[in-house]
Amino acid sequence: MRTTNLLLVFFLAVALLVGFLISQYPPTILIWVTLAFAIFTITFVKFEWGLYILIFSMLLSPEITIGETAGSSLKRGVTLRFEDFLLLVIGLSWFAKNALNKELGLFLKTPLNKPIFFYILACIVSTAIGIAFGDVGAKTSSLFIIKYIEYFIVFFIVANQVEDAAQIRRLVFCLLLTCFITSIIGILQIPGGERISAPFEGERGEPNTLGGYLLFVGAIAAGLLIKAEYPKSKHYLIILLATIMLPFLFTQSRSSYLGMIPVCCILGLLTKRKVIVFGLLSIVFLMSPLLLPSQVKNRVMYTFTQPEASGQVRVGDVRLDTSTSARIATLKEIIRDWPKKPVFGYGVTGYGFIDSQLPRVLIETGILGLLAFLYLIYAIIRLTLNNLKELKDPYFQGLTIGFLAGTIGLLFHSLGANTFIIVRIMEPFWFVAGIIAVLPTLEPQSETQSQESKPQFRRFASAS
């Protein structure tokens, strides 16, 4: 009766709000409110449907720029995408559902909870100090910190809502399908002759972002392929990987190419046929000058063969291109300026443009923020390795292997990009991390398909 009354009050309030909007605002506002209400209702009734919508929106939703961000370290306006709006609606639905059913639990206890808390705390404290001293714009920095928190909300929502192995398979299938669609769109861009980027990137695409995304999801697919039990599954995964590889190469993202090396090594080490796999990888590497498209080879060699220009850095007799030289110059500036604020840093967005993850974390959040970030990465890798020791289900093993390889690959990718704050890489990353965090709890269900274990899992979540 209490739940029914609450729902009646809620729908009455929505009806009054819609009536007010119709009389006061243009139709566009009404459309957005109606869409938000529809998604809220769908997610409230069946939360898994909201997760499907979120998965497809990660790469297939448009973005808008809402103005210049003074002091922004990205040198551009803050971008909002449909998934930002969607995540807000899904989050509200999640909180509402938990308010009505407290047994669901709000934050599942996982080994990543503390590291996440420490990292967010470091960002908030360093930024608050920066705002107090006038080094950081409050509006810009707050928007960026909210973005960071969004990623972790994705993690907690998934960790709390995943219930069984069948659901995990459906969610991962949608993740891979989204990647397949994105790859097809990327392939269609190749004839244009430019570096390709993700769909709906606005006027200025980000090939490095697409490269990192394809690197991570490709690692997931390769991990599943290693442990796939059925020929049909293997065929589909091989087709997906072949589809991913073409746009991956034509992103011409050198950071992504670098990240692919540890991904292949980890996948090779964790397969049963190590000698065969490493033999094939060695052959492919040796043959790559003959096999790779000319654009890819030229992009790699451009690092050392760019015509002489101002700002280039020399290492011995080797002259580096301006992009690589700019990263080295920025690193020197950070080494020079970090001692001025070594503990808390300059605050999020409080320093200049930095296209590398660890230096950015260090200069913005100081040594405390860097230690918190490294602790978070360590906790992720340790959780994944512990899962590999415990899990027996081949599908779960493959998913975990792929996540481990993808995480290491993104660490290398982050040498030349702000990988761990990029929306289109981090939302899929933390979505899968939420699944990885609960796999050991769900594996008994995958083996016995017993419905009796579900209440136990929910009680565990609630108690945490």
Report the chain's C-alpha Rg in angstroms. Answer: 23
Structure tokens at 359: 């230096």
What's the pLDDT at 458?
39
The Cα-based distances of 265 to 39, 219, 259, 434 in angstroms read: 42, 11, 10, 25
What's the pLDDT at 247?
94
- Left if phi > 0, otherwise alpha if psi is -120 to 50, otherwise beta: which for 366? left
**CB neighbourhood size of 32 (10 A):** 13
- 13-25 pLDDT, tens digit per residue, is 666 666 665 665 5
Give percent above pLDDT 70 in the chain: 76
Label residue 176 exposed, middle or buried (CB < 10 Å: 0-12, 13-18, 19+).
Answer: buried
Which carries the bigger pLDDT value, residue 212 or residue 277? 212
One DSSP character per residue, 285-322 reads HHHHHHHS-HHHHHHHHHHHHPPP-TT--EETTEEPPH
Q: So where are the chain's domains?
A: 1-45, 46-302+334-463
What's the pLDDT at 102?
59
Label residue 24 exposed, middle or buried (CB < 10 Å: 0-12, 13-18, 19+).
Answer: exposed
Which carries the bigger pLDDT value, residue 310 or residue 32? 310
What's the pLDDT at 242?
93
pLDDT at 224 over 90: yes
Structure tokens at 275: 């000698």
Among 159-163, 241-245, 390-394, 408-412, which stretch is predicted with the lowest mean pLDDT? 159-163
- Give the residue among 267, 54, 248 at the shortest CA–CA distance from 158: 54
Give percent above pLDDT 90 in the chain: 41
pLDDT at 220 over 50: yes
8 A C-beta contact, residue 169 and residue 395: yes
Q: Can you tell me the distance from the alpha carbon of 443 to that of 390, in angstroms, rounded to the nearest whole number?
A: 10
Q: What is the mean pLDDT of residues 274-301?
A: 73
Nearest-5° Cα angle at 39, 37 to 40: 60
Q: Can you tell me the distance from the alpha carbon of 316 to that of 143, in angstroms, rounded to the nearest whole number?
A: 43
Q: Which residues pair with 63 in a beta bridge?
A: 81
pLDDT-derived band at 379 (thresholds 50, 70, 90) equals: very high
Question: 348 in helix, strand or coil?
Answer: coil
Of the spans 57-66, 72-81, 192-201, 239-248, which averages the highest pLDDT?
A: 239-248
Q: What is the mean pLDDT of residues 264-287?
A: 77
Label residue 290 exposed, middle or buried (CB < 10 Å: 0-12, 13-18, 19+).
Answer: exposed
Q: What is the mean pLDDT of residues 81-85?
A: 69
Q: Can you tell me the distance from the alpha carbon of 172 to that of 220, in angstroms, rounded to the nearest whole number?
A: 9
Among 171-185, 209-223, 228-242, 274-288, which stretch is predicted with the lowest mean pLDDT? 274-288
The Cα-based distances of 370 to 115, 256, 349, 377 in angstroms read: 12, 23, 15, 11
- 39-55 pLDDT, tens digit per residue, is 777 777 777 888 888 88
CA dihedral of residues 173, 158, 396, 114 (deg, nearest 10): 150
pLDDT at 457 over 60: no
Q: What is the mean pLDDT of residues 420-429?
A: 92
8 A C-beta contact, residue 163 and residue 105: no
pLDDT-derived band at 26 (thresholds 50, 70, 90) equals: low
Q: Can you tell me the distance from the alpha carbon of 132 to that of 130, in angstroms, rounded to the nearest whole number?
A: 5
pLDDT-derived band at 120 (thresholds 50, 70, 90) equals: very high
Half-sphere exposure of 181 (CA within 13 A, CB side): 15
What's the pLDDT at 361?
95
